[in-house]
Structure 1
């Protein structure tokens, strides 16, 4: 690596996203930056590779501001490719590896991407995309053997210079395009500028992760989603990011033991599986000091069990694609021996530094303290806007980003989520929030997971329906669970029907896909509510 240009930036405290990695490559050149399987990169190697990727993209005619799709699973090349795109001044388009081919086409078309960097596992998908996305000119393939369809990633990058490309980036330049999970409708393209993304990654990552010097962070959740924010804080502290192919529990336990992992991030569905895993008791997890969970709320009963099993290592992160990271429930808040902390295990914690919260009604008016309403957020780390600017007013009004979540803060500032605004079930004129029913179901020892939705009903418009995954060897009847909810919440809230399933469907970001659960019941109808 011949050199790294460290530039100063006027009129902003936040430079481009690449600034932290450049600094880390100078300060920690010989340390291990990335590990994936049996392969690794030092900081010096990572810095040189990102420069070569950037220079190869520039040589192909990719210009500042061009959109570059990144379709890759969790591999060693994911991180260098992303940072190489940034160093070339281009804009990565995050494409969830688990999304359908139809969704991948939508991501590229909506963002008007000119280039796609993809892994060989997606050869068949890429062959279709190049035919159907009109703006797509260049395909670059990460794989073992070259193919006629695309340029070979290894070939073009090995021939490029490892000198810093020197592309000037300003704080307001576009930095990244993300897409909403689509759990409540068509995914929207969300644009972040460099200053907003830097603030989002550094402040949220450090405050949530409490990242320490020499951190060893294991990434099993998709790097296209929330775990990615902990790459940069780990680099900032000269630590090591360990990339796992997925969040398989056996792999996670083995990775923690092998690399003495100190921190990781998971979704609650995986944590539930981990708690029931037969290898958990014997596994050496003594190095693990931080477990961040996000993606969906976690039932207080399950959280107490997790603290009992793994100790005071948990941090909850609450975020949305548009508003950014909003709040966190810190380790000290997970103290099950403290009655005040116990009551707050069902909260999303307190707002992060420089994050303002407003609870508003349907007319965007602030509500009195304690009254549930839509959680609205104001902060620098929010999105700059949607790709389709005409949709900005759907989420951003008077500089407040409307999260679509219903909640309220308590007197100490802890934020309690009641539900997703669009998950609301209206049954016989009563508003029913599924999250509260799911929390009751989670108190039963036979329930591993549950999801509650509204289904059509000729009398009440919508009826409450529950879908439950039972724990192995723990029989329970639908009648018992319905009566449990009735006892705790009353007959209106009690599910009118309940199905048992082997597993719940997940969307590309690992959240329970309620859209998929609802689809069979609402098929053929003009509206998805009654």
Structure 2
């Protein structure tokens, strides 16, 4: 049963036992050590009272312990509750309460957050702390002590591939985070099949994880193990840390959000680092402005892969390395247009574009992107919400897009982000791409704000490139630039300049936070 997650790890550890599996700064473990560690943690969880089907919370940063603990929860027959580390304490409480988690494993850096919510979680029976704190404030079991005393054989727990394995939470970019349930089969199909196809994972890959493993980058951990590679844990995804570790560990692949690529492009000291080992950069989480993508290709070469996915639907499409390069007989316009796409649907993923009445639209027409595949979620934690998203087996993504004659999928925008100004639909992503085509703009975020005349007015926030200064003259120039490219309706009525954008726990630009000051005292969130 290839769909049982502990079996997948067993196979990799048998094939590659002496190779380095995980690196975390100066610490590392081989596949054999990872296998033994996973087994001991699983047995320690069972000894602590964890039973098959129990839900176990995991609150961990990227570190050496993360993957062995994750795998141990599955080997114990329990269900992993993935807690986004960038959330606040109330978010952690909600994750654990919604899932009726009986056990929590947390890193010592979250001591205060766990202490603040512990008394609000009566169903939480066992709390295990990983790492040491100077002054403990949580009555927690010591991870190292219980694991060192546990047996090193894999627990004798019968697991079916259709057993519940994983509860993840959506990023909440268009509403409150929702719990999404996966089985061993759906998650392994999602993480292994899609990961191998998208990531171009090669034998011996050295994959750096700087974005939180609680986000999309963990999809590439298991495929790296399947290929006998090494997963490098980074404490965060600041550019200096990423550059340093690429050089130090001869990193061959990584996965980032577009913001990081923008920062890499604008980093003054980038050329001081040896990045020659880097052969693959996967970008996901949000579309990348085509003009900045062209700049990245000129700077780093054809090493990029774009993915389009969602917590509910799994991976849907990808734009592979060779599709980032213009063909010999291809016009420049066709190539630039393709760079704006999210690639083509992957093997065994069906995609359709539908209108508000669920009718399938013809090729080229714009509507909601719907997908169907084996790796999609079983359903929401709250089953009453399933009908909002899944109908007749199709996941309705909430994204607006179209498919061209060559099968390329284009994301126009999030359905809930669309701005209606003067009765016309304005898609923020198109305005953002137009702004980013201007040489002074590093990043852009566009929202609709209340307007007495138009209902909603288009507002843009812009981060300028290094050395560029925002102001009235640049604002007027950028508005004119958008008018030239898109016309007067999508052109921003106002542009604000900022040093950085707020990010949500998934690392995406938090448009809810940007919108809040403009809409917080209104009963409606549209004009």
Assess same fold via TM > 0.5.
yes
Gaps in structure 2 of 5+ consecutive residues: none
Separation of aligned partners in 2, 1:272 and 1:453: 21
How far apart in 2 are the matches of 1:447 and 1:17?
44
Distance in 2 between residues matched to 1:399 and 1:50, nearest whole Å: 35
Counterpart among 510, 514, 519 of residue 513 in structure 1: 510
Residue 440 of structure 2 is aligned to residue 446 of structure 1: yes
The yes-or-no answer on 1:351 pairing with 2:345 is: yes
Matched, 1:395 2:389: yes
1:331 partnered with 2:313 = no
- SS in structure 1 opposite 2:198? helix
Which of 156, 160, 177 is the equivalent residue of 1:170?
A: 160
1:342 is matched with 336
Per-residue deviation, 1:145:
5.0
SS of equivalent to 1:281: helix
Instruction: Please name the residue that 1:68 is paired with.
Output: 56
Match of 1:490 among 478, 487, 497: 487
- 1:336 Cα deviation (Å)? 4.6
Distance 1:492 1:342 in 2: 24
From 217, 237, 252, the counterpart of 2:242: 252
1:102 maps onto 2:90 in alignment: yes
Structure 1 unaligned regions, length at least 5? 1-8
SS in 2 for 1:449: strand
| DSSP 3-state at the match of 1:344 | helix
**What's the Cα RMSD here?**
1.1
Task: Tell me the TM-score normalised to structure 1 length.
Answer: 0.96
Q: Is the 8 A contact 1:73 1:97 kept in 2?
A: yes
Query: Quick check: 2:170–2:311 contact (8 Å CA) kept in 1?
Result: yes
User: 2:23 aligns to what?
Assistant: 35
In structure 2, what is the equivalent of residue 49 of structure 1? Answer: 37
Give the Cα separation in 1 of the matches to 2:143 and 2:281: 34
Is 1:86 matched with 2:80?
A: no
Where do residues 95-244 of structure 1 align in structure 2 (5 Å cutoff)?
A: 95-145=83-133, 147=136, 149-244=139-234
- Residue 333 of structure 1, CA deviation: 0.8
* 1:469 and 2:463 aligned: yes
> d(CA) in 2 for partners of 1:136 and 1:481?
53
| Pick aligned residue for 1:418 from 412, 416, 419 | 412
Deviation at 1:144, TM superposition (A): 2.5
TM normalised by structure 2 equals: 0.97
How far apart are the structure 2 equivalents of 1:349 and 1:248?
Answer: 27
The number of equivalent residue pairs is 518
Say which SS state the counterpart of residue 208 (structure 2) adopts: strand
Q: Deviations over 1:405-446 (max 9, x none)?
A: 000111110000100010010111111100000000001111
Once the two structures are superposed, the pairs formed by residues 254-269 of structure 1 within 5 Å of their partners are: 254-269=244-259
- Maintained 8 Å contact 1:200/1:325: yes
Matched, 1:303 2:297: no
- Give 1:384's aligned residue: 378
Q: Distance in 1 between matches of 2:406 and 2:41?
A: 49
What is the distance in 2 between the residues matched to 1:135 and 1:525?
37
Matched-pair contact (CA < 8 Å) for 2:60–2:106: yes
Q: Is the 8 A contact 1:304 1:336 kept in 2?
A: no
Deviation at 1:479, TM superposition (A): 1.0
**CA displacement at 1:342 relative to structure 2:** 2.8
SS in structure 1 opposite 2:272? coil
Residue 403 of structure 2 corresponds to which residue in structure 1? 409
Q: 2:271 aligns with which of 275, 281, 288?
A: 281
Report what 1:500 is aligned to. 497
**Residues of 2 paired with 1:280 and 1:381: CA distance?**
38
CA-CA distance at 1:91 after TM superposition: 0.9
Classify the secondary structure of the residue corresponding to 1:493: coil
Measured in 2, the distance between the counterparts of 1:254 and 1:222 equals 18
Q: CA deviation at 1:399?
A: 0.5
Distance 1:343 1:429 in 2: 28
Secondary structure in 1 matching 2:271:
coil
Deviations 1:211-249 (A, max 9, x none): 111111010000001100100000001110000001111
Deviation at 1:80, TM superposition (A): 0.8
